[in-house]
Structure 1
Amino acid sequence: MTSEEQTVSLVDVLEEDEELEEEASAVLAGSDSDHCSYPQGYVKRQALYACNTCTPKGGQAAGVCLACSYKCHEGHDLFELYTKRNFRCDCGNKKFTDLQCKLCPEKEEENTGNKYSHNFFGVYCTCSRPYPDPDDQVEDEMIQCVICEDWLHGRHLGCVVPDCVELQEMICESCMNQHVFLWTYAAHLAVPGVSEAEVKEEKGTSDQEVATAIKKDEESDADVEPSCKRSRQEAEPDCRLKELEAIAQKRVQSGAVFWPSGWRSKLCSCSSCQTSLRESGLSFLLDESDTVLAYENKGKNNEQRQQGNDPLMSALDNLNRVQQLEIIHEYNDMKTELKDFLHRFAAEGKVVTPEDIRQFFEQQQSRKRGRVNTGQFYCT
């Protein structure tokens, strides 16, 4: 291997580590790592875990918040569920016969508003396989459905995964078929896919005609005499969904559907549609802040604010160059050893707790004192 290949390899490793750190910050920084989220009720969105040690397959599905995964389930076999919406921490309720929550012991026996899936037993997708799957040799990304929040392999979606998928939301075929009105929206709003060539337009409508139909209510108001108009508060706006249905633009109703950024704002919010969404448990589709991307941005902003107040960086600015180089050298050594330390946890599927990190740094201090005692110093 040439030195150039080694350099490229190291850059790739560092970039991959940075991406993992950013992803972890995006998911975890939006949740509280010190306090159980139970008192907050059904949290709009939070990082969740399922404990295979306390609630193994065959038992009742349960989920615990980030703080409880650290404080109450240290050393347990945990499944990372990424994020779920409208969930209340189960830790210590009747589903945990031998465990009491250390952070919030006073809890109801059951959270009836929680929704569970096979994810809580460590399996995902329509193939019901674990992730990572030791028996799967195919490199494939997993994408979360907006509605059921299951994670599906790209190859099991029944469609071609579009570019820039990280900026788009996906609804799986099962959820599309369960809520058939979404196919009407898909024909007009969804990201064009491989099946787009099969879309049939019964009336040959153009994009301009679609936009005109959506704005029909506003245009019709201009043709009515002021004395005949009802006030905005009294008038019921036309149903955007019915207008799109009338256009009769069709889309092949198979495979998962990908939606572009901002698509939720184009859904009809008339009183009838709001009632239908509420009865179907889909009111969150009208809330753009519900998206995983919005949650991740919140986590990243929290992380940036914390870094902006970093006293360590302020202290470094006051040191001379020799002192700065010494600290950087020590930092690089520590970072390498910390990565090796964390990789062992990843290989065993364990969650790193604050106690683990404390022990790591105690070992670092012991080794540093040992180097000083033996007269080993770094030259600059």
Structure 2
Amino acid sequence: MRIAVIGAGAVGGVIAALADRAGHQVAVTARGAQLDALQQRGLHLSGHWGEHTARPHASAALEERPDLAVLTVKAQDAHIALAENAESLRGVPLVVVQNGLGGAEAAAAQLPATAVVGGLALFAASYLSPGEVSITTPAATYLGLPAVRLDPAAQAGSADRVAPANPTAPAPGDAALRLATATLGAFMPIEVTHNFAGAQWTKLIVNQVNALPAITGHSVQNTIADPRLRAVLTDSMREAVGVARARGVHFETLLGLSDPLLRVFAAAPRPVARLLPLLMSRRVGKTPNPGSTLQSIRRGQLTEIDHLNGAVVREAYAARLEAPINARLVALVHRVEAEGAFITPTEVARAV
């Protein structure tokens, strides 16, 4: 099968390498040094799912129409990437693997002739250097169909949503979901969820671990091990859970987190609640995990923080609430982006 991966970074690189190892005809899009490396040396995968050097067809934009496409660029780059590849994607099932909220809905609105499936990569991958990606924590990728679509105001940044015009009609993405599940599931762990919105929110809680590494320059494990930073992380997670509950979200069970557990976590005394990040750190494993946001910082790229902690802030606003801790974390990440210097844990704890 012809599989295209739009955005061969850490997550996209892993999917492309695994598809190549399974014998598929793989095309990827990339930029700069990554594109040069892929064209000259190929794509080398290492880590928990073994070693493989893939030789995908690499270009700045897709040159042929695939049978299945996977979008793995950061949320802030998705609109441009889809516009650049719109002709090649016309009528092609598209899996949108992104953090944050609303990515699949936005892609479906931008490409109305394309059946879109939402994807959440729960495995942790690192972009080591151009042409080199590694799995630091193995886990499944969840696929599902968004239960709602974004209205025009939401596509402009509002968190308001509307239900489908006919919620009992078969979803147009059903066939695409079956194809994506069968194809990707043959070479990587795949789980299907019927509560994709809840899964997005659970992943958003997990992704709370991304901000502090990006701010301090330390790994996920080291930030959680620091009592000062763990207290900040706990408070930001509890704030996010509160916002989700106000928005009527039922969390999907992912990576050891569930709706009942997160409700208890939000209500527990703070010293007890701080145990949850420690449990999350154990699931990450011993291999230092920088988190995707710190990886962007190290590459000199803008991060997706506005679609992680920033999404919590927007959802809070839609619920007529505030999310001051998440807002401060967003501001600190933007400060690191602008100044190019990490912030000490002491200063972070004082600022938040």
Compute the TM-score of the two structures, normalised by the length of structure 1.
0.24
Compute the TM-score of the two structures, normalised by the length of structure 2.
0.26
Larger relative contact order (CA 8 Å, sep ≥ 6): 1
Please state which structure has a larger fraction of its residues in strand: 2
Which structure has the bigger radius of gyration? 1
